[in-house]
Amino acid sequence: IEAFLAASRQPVLQEPGELPFPLQPGQFELAPKPGALLVSTWDDTRQLHRRAVAIARALAAQPECILYDEPTTMVDPIMSDHIGNLMLRLKRQLRLTSVVVTHDLELMRKVADTVVVLHEGKAIYFGPVVNLEDSTHPHIQDFLAMDRV
């Protein structure tokens, strides 16, 4: 959560010369206010803040299980890694069971012990993540092959 909140505290609108980080080409665009700069990752920052708030709200109830629905959708690979690390930390420190709905195979491999693959409303695989590659089901093989592209 700290990484999300730190990202969300970064100023979005800054006066020229007051940026807390070096200006990189293509990183900023002109904002509606003349002479101001707008961080082009505004949507990413808002998404991360929303996710951090959602996780914090869920944890406030002290659950035994937490559901993550596509937690890495619409974030860059660096933030996706932060989300995965946070999920692992919560799992270990709070001993939380996590149910993760995802199409992100990298996240699945990082955070899951057991995986269920659904296809046409049926579970076509239920077992350890490490054995998923051994499945002979054509849908699983196609899905895993697309991840290698």
- pLDDT exceeds cutoff 60 at 118: yes
- Reading the block at residue 126, the tokens are 């239920």
pLDDT in tens, 72-94: 888 888 888 888 998 998 889 88
- pLDDT exceeds cutoff 60 at 132: yes
- Helix crossing, 2-9 with 42-60: angle to 10°? 140
pTM of the complete model: 0.65
pLDDT at 62 (0 to 100)? 87
User: Distance of CA 15 to CAs 35, 78, 146, Å?
Assistant: 7, 27, 44
82, 72 contact by CB (below 8 A): no
Backbone angle region of 54, left / alpha / beta, with phi > 0 → left and psi within -120 to 50 → alpha = alpha
pLDDT in tens, 98-113: 999 999 999 999 999 9
- The two beta strands, 65-69 and 114-119, are unpaired
113, 107 contact by CB (below 8 A): no
Alpha helices in 1-149 (DSSP H): 2-9, 42-60, 77-93, 105-111, 138-147
